[in-house]
Amino acid sequence: MRVDPFIIRTEQPHDAEAVARLHIAAFGDHGRTVNAIVDDLRPTIADLGGSSFVAEADGEVVGHVLVTASLLDTAARLVPAPVLSPLAVAPARQGAGVGGALVRRALEAASASGSPFVLLEGDPRYYSRFGFRPAGELGFRKPSLRIPDAAFQVALLPAYEPWMTGTVVYAWSFWAHDAVGLRA
Ligand SMILES: CC(C)(COP(=O)(O)OP(=O)(O)OC[C@H]1O[C@@H](n2cnc3c(N)ncnc32)[C@H](O)[C@@H]1OP(=O)(O)O)[C@@H](O)C(=O)NCCC(=O)NCCS
């Protein structure tokens, strides 16, 4: 693994254009949709919580991770459900630990703010190394049947309590952009 130096820092307003370019580079045709979701959800952090971190190397934004609040419909009440999405690293910088550093920082921030867990949709071969595990086994119901069970994952944080189970209700932007699960 290359060890080019990079830093992880909170995203600033002036990063938005670089973040958009990054998502287009990392996700290809899907990148504009991904960034539209980022633009929708980023402003919710101020009121609903969450975090947005960038990785910077040589003065360039080379990675981005966003955690925003969806909902968990528990038996007791609706509770905020932090969702990690998206995560992207510039193609030329992939495989050098940037993605891992972003995920770990996002989990630290969620933990520090008292969030009980972080949910995501992704490849378990990647995310299991950060403590993510199949969410269905803990009683979380996925927001769409089109999400493979193995992809629907959760990382439990110190504030987690076992009553926190129920159906995950994604923030509207994921639906508005038809970016939930897999389509045939
Ligand atoms: C997925 C992504 C964020 C990983 O970032 P990264 O900086 O390359 O990851 P790291 O350097 O921290 O980790 C690299 C390791 O993850 C593995 N890895 C990367 N993507 C993987 C995937 N989809 N499935 C399984 N393993 C994966 C690499 O093989 C490597 O393994 P190793 O440590 O055994 O060598 C990056 O590849 C990316 O931006 N991809 C395109 C966008 C994307 O798919 N985002 C995730 C959506 S859920």
Q: What is the pLDDT of residue 1?
A: 53
Calculate how far, in angstroms, residue 123's C-alpha sits from the geometric centre of ligand 1.
Answer: 9
Q: What is the pLDDT of residue 28?
A: 96
Q: What is the dihedral of CA 175, 181, 182, 183, to 10 degrees?
A: -30
The rounded percent of the chain whose pLDDT value lies above 70 is 98
For ligand 1, atom 23, name the residue with the nearest CA: 123
Q: Domains of the chain (ranges plus CATH)?
A: 7-176 (3.40.630.30)
For ligand 1, atom 20, name the residue with the nearest CA: 126
Q: What is the mean pLDDT of the chain?
A: 97
pLDDT in tens, 90-108: 999 999 999 999 999 999 9
pTM, whole model, 2 decimals?
Answer: 0.96
For ligand 1, atom 15, name the residue with the nearest CA: 95
Distance of CA 49 to the CA centre of its chain: 13
Asked whether 65 lines ligand 1 (CB < 6 A), one says no
pLDDT reading at 135 higher than 90? yes
> How distant, in Å, are the alpha carbons of 42, 64, 68, 113, 179 from that of 49?
10, 17, 7, 8, 21
Asked whether 165 lines ligand 1 (CB < 6 A), one says no
Asked whether 125 lines ligand 1 (CB < 6 A), one says yes
For ligand 1, atom 46, name the residue with the nearest CA: 87
